[in-house]
Structure 1
Amino acid sequence: MAQKALELIVPGPHGDRAVRLSNPDKVYFPERGITKRQVVEYYLSVAEPLLGVLRDRPTTLKRYVDGVTGEAFYQKRLPKNAPDFVETATIKFPSGRPADEVCPTEPAVIAWAANLGTFDFHPWPVRRPLVDHPDELRVDLDPQPGTDFRDAARVALVLREVLSELGITGYPKTSGGRGVHVAVRIRPEWDFIEVRHAVIALAREVERRMPSEATTSWWKEERGEKVFLDFNQAARDRTIASAWSVRGTPRATVSTPVTWDQLSTVDPDDFDVLTVPGYYAEHGDPHASLDSEAFGLETLLEWYEKDDRGEMPYPPDYPKMPGEPMRVQPSKARKPD
C-alpha cells in the first residue's frame, strides 16, 4: 500500500517553500533501518554548511531511487517537473554538448533533491557565471587495494606540507569511504586544463616525497599498494561527492569536513546520517574559512612546465587532448620490433 506523502515547509531566503516528501517511510539503508524521511531530515539539519559548498555551482545529483541496495545513476540535467524555485547553470561536457544542471541556492532545493533519492551532491568546481574557470582545486586521495583510510590520511599530511610551503591552505574531509579529499580555494583565472595540470604537479611532488606510499600512475596495474592521487578528478565534468553528502554505503556514511588535527584520529565510519548532525552542532563547520582566501596556481604551473613527463592520460570517454600520451594499458601496448 502506497505511503501517504508529506508536505515539508522549508524556510529560505525567499520565504517558506512547500516541498513534497513521497513515501517517507521507505527504507533507504536496510542495514541501519534508515528511511527516506531521515535522509531528508539529515540534509535539512546540515543545509547551511552544505549550501556553502553547493550554492551557485552546477551540481550533478547521484540518485538512489530504490535505496542503497538499488542501482544508482547520475542526474546531469534538470529533471522534468522540477519546482520553479530550482535554478540551473549551463555547463558544457567534454564533447561540447551543453546541459542545464541543478544549481542549488536555498535549503528547499536540497530537500527536493533528497526526496528524489539523491544521496550524493556532486558540484562542479566552478560558480556561475564563470562556469569554465574553476575556483576550487580538489585532490582525491584514493587508497588502492592493500591500503586504507589511515594510509590516505598519511599521504594527505604530506600534501598539506607541500601546500604550506607554497603558502596555500587546504581543507580535508573524509570521502565517506576509505579516501580523503582536500579542497583549495583558487582564483578563477585558469581553465580546466590548467587547473588539472596544477593538480598533476602537486600530486607528482607528493609522490616524489613518499614514493613507497603515493602514486600518480593512471594505470591500475602500475599503482601497487599505494594511495593514488587522482589528478583526473580535476578534468571537466569530473566531480567528487561534496562535503556533507550522504554516500551509498550500507552504513549511510557521510563525507565529512574535518580539521587537519582530526584527520589522523577519526574513523570515517563514525560519520553517518545519524551522527553527523550532532558532530556539526558540536564542532560547527571545519571548512567555514574555505572562502576566506583564494590562492594562485603560478608556482604549480611552473612545476608542471618544467617536468619532462608532461601530460598524463585523460579518462577514456574524453576526446583526445593535446599532448596526451597513448591511452593504452602498459601491459597491452605494442612492443617495438
Structure 2
Amino acid sequence: MAALAAATRTKRQARRDSDSTPTLPLPAFRPFQLCTLTEAVPSGDDWLFEMKFDGYRAQVAISGGKARIFTRNGHDWTEQFSVLLPSLQSLTAGSALIDGEIVAIDAHGRTNFSMLKTGIRAGIPLKFYAFDLLDQDGRNLSDLPLIERKARLEKLIGFRDPSDSLQFSTHVQGDGDALLKTMCEGGHEGVIAKRADARYVGDRTTSWLKIKCTKRQEFVVGGWRPSDTGKGMASLILGTYENGQLVYRGRVGTGFTERMRDSILAQLKTRSLKSSPFAAVPRDIARLANWVRPELVAEVAFSEITPDGSLRHPSFKGLREDKPAAEVVLEQAGVSVPRAMLDPKFGKDIAQALGIKLTNADQVIYPGTDITKAHLAAYYAAVSERMLQHLSDRPLSLVRDTRHDLTDTFFQKHQLPGMPAALRAGELKKLSGKDSRILWVEDLAGLIGGVQMNVLEWHVWGARRQQPHLPERMVFDIDPDEDLGFADVRQAAFDIRDILGALGLASWPLVSGGKGIHVVVPLVPQADWSEVKQFCQNFAELLARNEPHRFIANMSKAQRKGRIFLDYLRNGQGATAICPWSTRARAGGTVAMPVTWDELGELAAANSFDIFSAAARAQGPDVWEGYFEAQQVLSEPVQQVVRR
C-alpha cells in the first residue's frame, strides 16, 4: 500500500464540472477487458502495475446526477451497491463510463471478499476503486493509450479523503517485482500489470496480466457431502468446465463458518439432482455425494493443482454471484495450455488408435526445446477440429525436416514411397489443361500421418480438389523488408483490411508464426483463378502506386529496402499459403495463428504463439467467427475499382 501511495500524483480537490455542462445520455455497458494469469512479472517502463483487488469488478455509468452500477455480466446492481451512489452521483455534470472494482476493507487494510458479501447485505461501507475511463462526455476513449485514459480519470476523480467511497486506483510504472513483493508481504492478492500504451479491448488479452501471491480462482459447485453425523454439510464438490463438460477438481471443506455452511446448504437443497453433473467422479467421492445443478460458483484458495487435476489444500473464500458457472474454466499461468494437454503419451496413443506407427516418437524436433514428435501428434489432435476446416480436401504442399534440426527442410507436393495411406494422393487437371499430381488429407489420421513423415508445415491451395478451378479465398501475404518492425506490418494489415472493407469485402488476419501477417478474404467459389489473381495483383499495384514509400508489388528483395511486398502470387492455381493452425519449421515450435483484429492490435510479433498456447486457444470459441458463413464474390464493379 505504501508503494502505491508513493505513486500518487499531485493532489487535486474533488471536482464537479460546470453546471452549464449539457446533460448527456447515460453511457451504455461494454464488455470488460479481462486479465491473463501469468507467473512472471513483465519488466520495463512500458508496463503499469496496480494492486489486485479482492472484490467485485464493476462498471459505473454516470450522467449528471445519475449513476448506474453494472456487474461483469452487465447486470444492474445499482440498488445492491447504493452505499456508493452519493460520491458517484456528484462526480460530474457531464457523463463518464468508469471501470473498477468494488471492495470492502478489513481491519488490516486488506480487501476482503467475505466482508464484501456481508457488506452488500448489511449496507456497511464499501469502496469503488476506479482504474480505467472508457467514455467521457460522449467521447469513446477506448482507443487512447491506457496511460492517457488513467491521467484523464485521475483528473476527473481528483484527490479524495481516504474515507471517501470513491477512490482512484494508483499505479507504479516499471519495477513490478518490488510492488509484487510488497503486496505479498502485506497479505494482499497480488498485482495487475497493464501495457501503458494499450487500447481498451472488451475481451481477455495479454496486455493485462494478473500475478497472484497465492493460487485462487472460481470453481463450480456440482455437489456436497454431508458431515459424519449426517447433519449439515462437510464439503463442497467442485469442478471446472473443459470442452463443454464439468470436470471434477476435488472438494473443499475448510474456510466456512457455521452460518455460512447453513446458508450454502439451504441454497444447495433447492438445486438437487438425482445424477452427477460431472463427466466423471472418483467412486469413493460419488458414494456419499449429494448432487446439485451446477449453478453456484465458489471462490477457493489452494496451494497447487495436483498432476491429476485436483486441488491441494483448498480453502473456501465465498460464493460469487458476478460470474456465470458456464464461464468457469481452470486458470493456468501464462497464455499456454497446461503441458498435460499435450502429453507425449497421449500423442502416441492417438497415433496407435488411428493405425499410424509413430517411429522415434521421443525424438526432439525443435532444437533447444523439449518438443518431440509425440508432442506434435498430441498438438494436432488438440487443434484438428479447427484446422481441418481450412485443410481437408485441399491440395497441399508439405514442408518436411528429416534431420530434426531445422537446417535442411524441403517442400513436397507429390507422393513418395513409404508415406502413410492417410496422406491421400491423386491427380487433377489444372486450368492450363495439364494433369497435376496432388496430396491431401481428410481427417486427423492424415495429420498424424504427416507427423510420422516429419511434416512441420502444411500449405494449402485456396480451392478444394473437387472444384480445383474455383478458389474459396484470397490471401494477401504481407512480406516486410527485414529492417522493418512488426508495427509496420501490423499497420499495413489494418490498412489492407480497411481498403477491402470499403470494397465490401470482409477479411480476417492470420499471424504467420514467422515475421508476416496474412489478410485472408473468404469467397464464394465463383470467380476462377485468373480473375482472383488479377484482382490481387491490381490491388497490390494500387497500394504501391498510392504509397510507394511503404509498399512494393515487385518481389525483388533488392528493391524492397524499407518497404513491404504485398505478395499476390499466393493466389494463382497451384500456389499455396500456410494453413491456419499449422506449425512452422522455425525455432520454438511456433504456429500460424488466426486472431481477431482487436487481438492483432495487441500482439508484439507474428510468432507470438507456440503449440502449447495454440492448443489452449483451440479449446475456446472460434476467433474467426463468421469466416465460413461469409458470402462474398468478386463482382465486376469491385474489380473495376482496383483496375483503375
Q: Structure 1: any 5+ residue segments left out of the alignment?
A: 1-5, 308-337
- Alignment-derived partner of residue 145 in structure 2: none
**Is the partner of 2:594 in helix, strand or coil?**
coil
Q: Establish whether residue 54 from structure 1 lines up as the match of residue 391 from structure 2.
A: yes
- Alignment-derived partner of residue 335 in structure 1: none
Moved more, 155-164 or 189-198: 189-198
Moved more, 61-70 or 189-198: 61-70
Change (3 A) 1:9 1:252: closer
Moved more, 251-260 or 76-85: 76-85
Q: Deviations over 1:240-298 (max 9, x none)?
A: 2111111111121111000011112113333012221123334x332242110231112
Moved more, 167-176 or 267-276: 267-276
Moved more, 117-126 or 36-45: 36-45
- Alignment-derived partner of residue 121 in structure 1: 458
Q: What pairs with 1:134-213 in structure 2 (closer than 5 Å)?
A: 134-213=471-550
Mapped to 2, the partners of 1:176 and 1:91 lie a distance apart of 31
Q: What pairs with 1:26-105 in structure 2 (closer than 5 Å)?
A: 26-88=363-425, 90-91=427-428, 97-105=434-442
Mapped to 1, the partners of 2:510 and 2:465 lie a distance apart of 24
- Alignment-derived partner of residue 314 in structure 1: none
Deviation at 1:132, TM superposition (A): 1.7
Letter in 2 for 1:251: G
Change (3 A) 1:301 1:91: farther
Letter in 2 for 1:139: F
- Alignment-derived partner of residue 332 in structure 1: none
**Is the partner of 2:549 in helix, strand or coil?**
coil
- Alignment-derived partner of residue 243 in structure 2: none
Q: Structure 2: any 5+ residue segments left out of the alignment?
A: 1-346
Change (3 A) 1:75 1:96: farther
**Is the partner of 1:292 in helix, strand or coil?**
coil
Deviation at 1:54, TM superposition (A): 0.5
In the alignment of these two chains, the number of paired residues is 296
Deviation at 1:97, TM superposition (A): 4.7
**Is the partner of 1:264 in helix, strand or coil?**
helix
Mapped to 2, the partners of 1:88 and 1:184 lie a distance apart of 28
Mapped to 1, the partners of 2:405 and 2:380 lie a distance apart of 17
Deviation at 1:95, TM superposition (A): 7.8
Mapped to 2, the partners of 1:239 and 1:273 lie a distance apart of 22
**Does the 8 Å CA contact 1:132/1:192 hold for their aligned counterparts?**
yes
Letter in 2 for 1:270: S
Mapped to 1, the partners of 2:430 and 2:374 lie a distance apart of 33
- Alignment-derived partner of residue 21 in structure 1: 358
Mapped to 1, the partners of 2:359 and 2:368 lie a distance apart of 22
Q: CA RMSD, aligned part only?
A: 2.3
Change (3 A) 1:189 1:276: same
Change (3 A) 1:81 1:99: farther
Mapped to 2, the partners of 1:110 and 1:187 lie a distance apart of 26
Mapped to 2, the partners of 1:243 and 1:281 lie a distance apart of 15
Deviation at 1:100, TM superposition (A): 3.3
**Does the 8 Å CA contact 2:351/2:357 hold for their aligned counterparts?**
no
Among 566, 569, 573, the residue aligned to 1:232: 569
Change (3 A) 1:75 1:246: same
Q: Establish whether residue 272 from structure 1 lines up as the match of residue 610 from structure 2.
A: yes
Change (3 A) 1:90 1:273: same
Larger Rg: 2
Q: Deviations over 1:139-182 (max 9, x none)?
A: 10001121132211100101110111111111111011110001
**Is the partner of 2:513 in helix, strand or coil?**
coil
TM-score by length of 1: 0.80
**Is the partner of 2:602 in helix, strand or coil?**
coil
**Does the 8 Å CA contact 1:149/1:180 hold for their aligned counterparts?**
no
Q: Which has the higher contact order (CA 8 A, sep 6+)?
A: 1
Letter in 1 for 2:571: A
**Does the 8 Å CA contact 1:58/1:90 hold for their aligned counterparts?**
no
Deviation at 1:93, TM superposition (A): 6.8
Moved more, 252-261 or 287-296: 287-296
TM-score by length of 2: 0.43
Mapped to 2, the partners of 1:84 and 1:151 lie a distance apart of 44
Among 620, 628, 631, the residue aligned to 1:291: 628
Q: Deviations over 1:100-129 (max 9, x none)?
A: 322221111111111111111111111121
Change (3 A) 1:97 1:66: farther
Letter in 1 for 2:626: S
Among 615, 619, 641, the residue aligned to 1:281: 619
**Is the partner of 1:138 in helix, strand or coil?**
strand
**Is the partner of 2:355 in helix, strand or coil?**
strand
**Is the partner of 1:18 in helix, strand or coil?**
coil
Deviation at 1:301, TM superposition (A): 2.5
- Alignment-derived partner of residue 215 in structure 1: 552
Mapped to 2, the partners of 1:131 and 1:261 lie a distance apart of 34
- Alignment-derived partner of residue 303 in structure 1: 641
**Is the partner of 1:157 in helix, strand or coil?**
helix
Change (3 A) 1:49 1:155: same
Mapped to 1, the partners of 2:627 and 2:546 lie a distance apart of 26
